Amino acid sequence: MERRGEAQPTSSLANSSRRSRSDLPLTRRRLLERASATAAVLAVGPVVPLPQPGGPVSDNDGTLQAFADTMVPGRKVTTTALGSPIHPAAIAGVDGQPGAVEADALALYHHPKVGFDALQGPFLTELETRSAAHGGAFLDLGWDARVAVCIEGLDYANSTRLLWEAAAAVPFTAFCAAALVPEQTADKAPGYRVMGLPGAAPRGYPTGYSYGRRLSRERTRTGSLP
């Protein structure tokens, strides 16, 4: 939920070395660590994208898009990379590059191989309950309030945080793993372009492709590479 390009997290998200890992406040790095376990289950390979309706996005789906935008923020656009519509209030627009919504997080939420449809009702109920304490429906909240709601939901003190972590894993998988892009190349996957990853080589990599150096198998003196 920290914007890309910011060197330091805000004080409300700062880590404390004096506390145990389970008590550490949430940062984007910590959220990535915690969501990666669930994302690994989802990202076993690209899944076939489902046809998306071209009409207006419902408020429930818009709320899922807004949550995805809070996890991996992006630029304001009207359609996703696959051409699906985006709710006009979903993207806060705090980042100038593509985010999870543009990477079709909503389509992945509803994909039958993911199974999030069974969790959508309970998740949205709790999301909106917490949002009400911050001024209204999640879709109507500003960026800072959205972040505050998500910090509460993903806090270890929240007994239902696994539900929130499952919800958070989907946009990370759509963005970081290009889950709905069959080719999984930077040209096709907005997340890969943002991260600077070339993705899969369409015709494979050249024979013998390597850095030309044998990797060390022993520990280094200082713990760093030469």
Average pLDDT over residues 111-116: 90
Token readout for 125 is 């109920």
pTM: 0.71
pLDDT, one tens digit per residue, over 36-91 is 444 444 444 556 555 555 678 999 999 999 999 999 999 999 999 989 999 999 99
pLDDT, one tens digit per residue, over 161-212 is 999 999 999 999 999 988 888 778 888 889 999 988 887 776 666 666 666 6
